[in-house]
Amino acid sequence: MGRVVVLGAGVSGHTAAAFLKKWLGHSHDVVVVSPKEKYNWIPSNIWVGVGCMKPAQVEFPIKPVYDKFGIEFHQARAVAIHPEGSADHDKPFVEIEYTEPSRDGERARLAYDHLINATGPKLNFGATKGLGPEGHSHSVCTTEHAVACRDAVHEAIGRMKKGERQRFLVGTGHGLCTCQGAAFEYVTNLEFVLRKHGVRDKAEITWLSNEYCLGDFGMGGIYIKRGGYITHSRIFTESLFAERGLNWIFRAHVNEVCEDRVLFETLDGTDHEEEFDVAMLLPPFAGVGLKAHDRKGGDITERLFAPNGFMKVDADYSAKPYEEWKASDWPRYYVNPEYSNLYAVGIAFAPPHPISQPRKSPRGTPIFATPPRTGMPSAMMGKAVASNIANAMLGRKKSPHAASMARMGAGCVASAGAGLFNGTAAAMTVYPVVPDFDAYPEYGRDLSHTFGEIGLAGHWVKVILHYMFMHKAQGKPGWTLIPE
């Protein structure tokens, strides 16, 4: 009997574990390690952060689901990987530290035949002074963060109803942030909620981002073909912001978040500050800090992980100039080049390079959006890796299932207001996620499969998808029929 250990129970890890158990059945063990007791559908945290959903609508206890599947669950965090075993332990194993109250701090070893690193990111608030819930800004990266952000917004609404003006600042809190899409959804939903409460005229809302232009989203922007015209996502986003009376600042790296203002540098090297009463600024991501050791106990962390802490996989990590980057640089199977039974999926894998063009200010400060690897692509990676592992363990001679972001299309429905009859959402598809200028020389993407529009129908789709994915994540009847 073989054993697969999955580190992380987010979109990618949970998808991989669920399909592995379905395909492997009782013939092999599937084990999941996660430091949290609940599953959180993170894309809907933005609705919690403005009070349109309650925490119970975006999370649920994970252990009962794994008990139903027959998956072994450990509420713990992964500490170190030993891909060669050790002097006193022949099989490869991962070292974990329990976070559940009854065993808090206790350590254990979990042997494995295959290991999937789906730990997701470390929320690196420490990269910017004063950033985050322990500083002077809010976040929607976790349910707890979103609840605190909601409370701050509601307090500000109360002040506005008394006649006070309030300044809201939403965006990214560092020059190397990703997930601009989540901040985009938050700022448009915030504006919607303020209108709903009748206080929009008392609010000044400003978007602050490290993107080179609005609508970059860490993908270098996209071109959309509509009505016979080809339009860049910059026009799409600027129009949306202008219609809602949103101010915007881009090409910005936040140096410090103070109690009532941010200090930031722009790409041209000049210093600025922006005042606020409530700020929701997303942090940059880093690897969770996993260590790696060889059989003798030597530290091989730098061999397995990139400097940012994300795991190296079958990608081209050579330092090539931007002009020489290729779609083929991106990984296909998410397997570590040194250990064929070690994988990294979702945010846990190290991208070979950004998708958006990297830029630095005259001072040398990097200011550009880093690659998004969440949502649909994460789930597809998890399922592909699970399929390859299951085939290997069951002795099936099948071609490996690839899931390159340069050969993968993705759909995104970005909420821009949560009303049942007056809500809106931007619905977009992109193919491929990583542009391929060899296959599509002019725009890098196939415009017949890249499109977008905004409207009420998109909002209904967004709501339907929320409940579909929560249904799928809980393994309820028909969960395998719901696409990733």
Provide DSSP, 264-311: EEETTS-EEEEE-SEEEEEPPEE----EEB-TTS-B-HHHHB-TTSPB
Rounded Cα gap, residues 280 and 207, in angstroms: 10
Query: How high is the pLDDT of residue 37?
Result: 97
Rounded Cα gap, residues 459 and 463, in angstroms: 6
Query: How high is the pLDDT of residue 55?
Result: 97
Q: Determine the residue type at 336.
A: N
Nearest-CA neighbor of 150 among 139, 161, 159, 160?
139
Query: How high is the pLDDT of residue 125?
Result: 98
β-bridge pairing 291-292 and 72-82: parallel
Per-residue pLDDT tens, the chain, 484 aa: give them: 899 999 999 999 999 999 999 999 999 999 999 999 999 999 999 999 999 999 999 999 999 999 999 999 999 999 999 999 999 989 999 999 999 999 999 999 999 999 999 999 999 999 999 999 999 999 999 999 999 999 999 999 999 999 999 999 999 999 999 989 899 999 999 999 999 999 999 999 999 999 999 999 999 998 987 777 888 989 889 998 999 999 999 999 999 999 999 999 999 999 999 999 999 999 999 999 999 999 999 999 999 999 999 999 999 999 999 999 999 999 999 999 999 999 999 999 999 999 999 999 999 999 999 998 888 899 999 999 999 999 999 999 888 999 999 999 887 777 877 777 777 877 788 899 999 999 999 999 999 888 777 888 878 888 898 999 999 999 999 999 998 8
- pTM exceeds 0.85 for this model: yes
List 80's β-bridge partners, or say none. 95, 291
Rounded Cα gap, residues 401 and 385, in angstroms: 7
For the record, the structure tokens of 341 come out as 């039974």
SS3 state at 353: coil
Structural domains in the chain, sorted by start: 3-123+286-393 (3.50.50.60)
**8 Å CB contact between 141 and 45:** yes
Query: What separation in angstroms does the CA of 180 have from each of 31, 67, 322, 362, 369?
Result: 33, 36, 22, 24, 8
**8 Å CB contact between 413 and 458:** yes
Q: Determine the residue type at 69.
A: F
Rounded Cα gap, residues 222 and 406, in angstroms: 14
Query: How high is the pLDDT of residue 456?
Result: 81
| Phi, psi at 140, each rounded to 5° | -125, 25
- The residues, any chain, with a CB within 8 Å of residue 215's CB and separated by 6 or more, are 221, 222, 232, 233, 234, 235, 236, 237, 238
- The residues, any chain, with a CB within 8 Å of residue 415's CB and separated by 6 or more, are 46, 47, 185, 188, 189, 423, 424, 425, 459, 462
**8 Å CB contact between 374 and 217:** no
Rounded Cα gap, residues 423 and 421, in angstroms: 6
Query: How high is the pLDDT of residue 129?
Result: 98
